[in-house]
Every structure is written in structure tokens, then in C-alpha cells.
């Protein structure tokens, strides 16, 4: 992962691209005054926009913590909002049309710090058509399944040690999270950006979004709330210590965490690698249902 980069400059020092046209659609950078309009637009599909909404509610539309720039795509004739995109380290796009995807593509192409592009499979395939240069292919392409839980699991034994993490747990959490990122993307964030990565893990802990079960100094279970809105919680980094697997600990912790989170939101979602049948079976057993198909594209590094 890369360290935090100023939103006011590209990596080559030139001013950021702030305007592009695709037919009758125009793309412009968003400012704080657009926040309510953007949130209303994203609220139409809360399960698929939880990451962007959470960033906006946490940080606002302009913040180094977003690790990128928010853009709007509008119909030039009516001014109607057709799409919203976060373009940066992680690129996320929500549009009403293929034309919107095409309009965002040249802006995204100019961003040199993109590490990952995520989205629903059909939309991301269309976006890649407009985005990629001839013959270009992703460094890594992960086919993923979007699972959702709406009804909490009952009847499982309580885990008395499951709690929100504290900064005293950071030395246990960071290496495990880095190992999971390496397995998924092929990049170890503790080697690429150790200071920034630990800072991001620490911020999540301070936000109360990391959950752990620690016994005798050993991490038994971990899960991170990557994004949260009034309707949806998005989980990542679910981990069970390999030495403790097969004992039902993961199911117990997921059930207990689900009951806690579903007391305040309507659903919990997470992504599972399509090839990881064991993980998919684990979440189905925990009460999660398949909702959609996603792709995650990890970009080439210069």
C-alpha cells in the first residue's frame, strides 16, 4: 500500500485533472457543498455503496484519509447527477449508465497512484474496456462473491473474550492483516509502507472498528469493520488462528459479532474470493446469503 498523498497534486507534480467530457456528460471534482446531494444519490443502493458513504461520513468529500478524490458525473443539459466515483488508491464507481463509466475512465487513467479498482463484475468489465490501453491486463484479478447477513444467528455459545481492540493489540493485528493483504494482492503493506499501514490499522482501532479475541497474548479471532453506514456494515479481515480452526470458534465469534452489529444496522456484508470454497461455506453456515458478483483488480506497479 502507498502512503497518504496530498489530494491537491498528482504524483508528477502537475495539477489534478478536474474536468472531462464524455458526450453530454461532464465530470468534475466534488466539494464539500455537494455532500448532501452525493449521499442521497448513493443511498439508492446502500449495499453497493457502503464504502463510499462511510468514507464521506467519516472524512467528508475532501480529506487525505480518503486516499483519493471524489468526482461527480452529470448530464450537461439537465445538471442531473449520473454517477459518483472515488479515484485514487482504491477506485470505486457508482453510476446509472455505461456512459457514466466511460466518462470516469479518462480521469481514472490519469491517476498514477491507483492500487486497486473494485466493483460489480458487469460494471467493472465495462469500465475496464474504456479504461485500459490496448493489450493491458490487471496484475491480479480477483473474482469475488458479495455475501450479506440480515438476520442474526442465535443459539451459539457466547465468547466472553470477544471485544473491541485497543492500541495494545496493534502488534498482533498488523502482521495478520498484512499477511492477508499479501495473500490477496501479492503486496505486503508492512514492507511497502510500514508506517502508513500501521497508522491506518491504529485509526481503525481508535474508531472502534476492530474486533478481537485474545487469549494469553495470542490472537484467536479478528474482524475489521472497513465501512459503516446507518444501514450497512462492511467487514473485511476475518481471521481465525490456524491452530484454533475446526473448533467452532469462528462461527461463535461471527454469530456474536453479527448480533451486536445487527442491533444497529440492517445488514452486514463482506466479499469472499470466488475460488475460496471453504470460506464461502463458512459464511453460508454463519447465515450469510449470496447477493452479487464482484471483481477486484490490482493494478500493475511501475
Nearest-angstrom CA–CA distance, 284 and 260: 19
Question: Which CATH number is 206's domain given?
Answer: 3.40.630.30
Statement to judge: residues 270 and 155 lie in one domain: yes
Q: Which residues of 9-25 are buried (b: 16+ CB within 10 A; e: fewer)?
A: eeeeeeeebeebebeeb
Q: Which residues contact 140 (CB under 8 A, 6 or more apart)?
A: 185, 186, 297, 298
Q: Categorize the per-residue pLDDT at 13 as very low, low, confident or very high, splitting at 50, 70 and 90.
A: very low
Contacts 24+ apart (CB under 8 A), 9-13: 10/110, 10/111, 10/112, 11/112, 11/113, 12/112
249-296 per-position pLDDT tens digit: 999 999 999 999 999 999 999 999 999 999 999 999 999 999 999 999
Contact (CB, 8 A) for 165 and 125: no
- What residue has cell string 470458534? 249
Please list, in sequence order, all residues whose beta carbon lies within 8 angstroms of the beta carbon of residue 283, skipping any fewer than 6 positions away: 147, 254, 270, 272
Task: Indicate if 157 and 117 belong to the same structural domain.
Answer: no
- Select from 136, 169, 201 the last residue of a domain: 136
pLDDT band, residue 155 (cuts 50/70/90): confident
Rounded to an integer, what distance in angstroms lies between the CA atom of residue 174 and that of residue 170?
6
Position 301 in a domain? no
Pair (88, 153) in one structural domain: no
pLDDT tens digit sequence for 235-254: 999 999 999 999 999 999 99
In a domain, 265, yes or no: yes
The verdict on residue 41 lying in a domain is yes
Whether residue 9 has pLDDT greater than 80: no
Mind listing the pLDDT tens digit for each residue in 52-111? Answer: 999 999 999 999 999 999 999 999 889 999 999 999 999 999 999 999 999 999 999 999
**278 and 155 both lie in a single domain:** yes
Statement to judge: residues 112 and 153 lie in one domain:
no
Average the pLDDT over 176-198 and give the result: 93
Tell me, yes or no, whether 3 lies in a domain: no
Q: Which of 90, 112, 136 is the last residue of a domain?
A: 136
Both 69 and 183 in a single domain? no
pLDDT of amino acid 134: 82
Q: Which of 92, 112, 136 is the last residue of a domain?
A: 136
9 within domain boundaries: no
| Beta carbons of 119 and 93 less than 8 angstroms apart | yes
pLDDT, residue 8, reads 30
Domain range holding 278? 149-293
> Is residue 39 domain-resident?
yes
Three-class DSSP category at 114: coil
Is residue 70 domain-shared with residue 99, that is, in the same domain?
A: yes
* pLDDT on residue 301: 57
Cβ–Cβ < 8 Å for 127, 101:
yes
* pLDDT, greater one: 215 or 138: 215
Pair (71, 104) in one structural domain: yes
Q: What is the average per-residue pLDDT within 191-212?
A: 96
How many domains is the chain partitioned into structurally? 2
C-alpha Rg value of the chain to the nearest Å:
19
**Do 48 and 120 belong to one domain?**
yes
Domain-embedded: residue 222: yes
pTM value is 0.88
Residue 7 lies inside a defined structural domain of this protein = no
Distance CA 136, CA 217 (A): 46
What b/e readout covers 203-226, taking b as 16+ CB neighbours within 10 angstroms? ebbeeebbbbbbeeeebbbbbbbb
Amino acid at each position: 500500500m502507498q502512503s497518504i498523498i496530498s489530494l491537491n497534486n498528482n504524483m508528477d507534480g502537475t495539477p489534478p485533472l478536474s474536468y472531462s467530457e464524455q458526450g453530454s456528460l461532464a465530470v468534475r471534482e466534488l466539494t464539500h457543498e455537494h455532500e448532501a446531494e452525493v449521499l442521497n444519490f448513493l443511498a439508492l443502493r446502500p449495499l453497493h455503496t457502503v464504502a463510499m458513504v462511510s468514507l464521506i461520513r467519516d472524512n467528508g468529500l475532501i480529506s487525505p484519509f480518503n486516499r483519493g478524490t471524489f468526482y461527480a458525473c452529470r448530464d450537461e443539459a439537465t445538471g442531473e447527477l449520473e454517477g459518483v466515483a472515488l479515484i485514487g488508491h482504491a477506485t470505486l464507481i457508482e453510476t446509472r449508465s455505461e456512459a457514466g463509466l466511460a466518462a470516469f475512465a479518462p480521469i481514472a487513467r490519469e491517476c498514477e497512484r491507483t492500487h486497486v479498482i473494485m466493483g460489480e463484475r458487469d460494471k467493472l468489465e465495462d469500465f475496464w474496456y474504456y479504461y485500459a490501453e490496448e493489450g493491458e491486463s490487471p496484475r491480479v484479478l480477483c473474482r469475488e462473491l458479495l455475501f450479506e447477513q440480515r438476520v442474526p444467528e442465535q443459539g451459539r455459545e457466547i465468547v466472553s473474550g470477544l471485544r473491541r481492540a485497543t492500541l495494545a493489540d496493534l502488534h498482533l493485528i498488523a502482521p495478520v492483516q498484512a499477511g492477508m493483504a499479501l495473500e490477496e494482492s501479492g503486496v505486503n503493506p508492512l514492507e511497502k509502507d510500514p508506517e502508513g499501514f500501521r497508522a491506518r490499522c491504529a485509526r481503525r482501532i481508535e474508531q472502534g472498528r476492530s474486533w478481537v479475541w485474545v487469549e494469553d497474548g495470542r490472537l484467536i479471532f479478528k474482524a475489521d469493520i472497513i465501512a459503516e453506514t446507518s444501514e450497512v456494515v462492511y467487514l473485511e479481515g476475518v481471521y481465525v488462528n490456524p491452530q484454533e480452526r475446526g473448533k467452532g470458534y469462528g462461527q461463535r465469534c461471527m454469530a456474536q459479532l453479527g448480533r451486536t452489529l445487527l442491533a444497529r444496522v440492517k445488514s452486514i456484508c463482506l466479499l469472499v474470493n470466488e475460488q475460496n470454497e471453504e470460506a464461502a461455506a463458512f459464511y453460508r453456515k454463519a447465515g450469510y446469503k449470496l447477493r452479487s458478483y464482484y471483481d477486484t483488480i490490482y493494478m500493475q506497479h511501475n
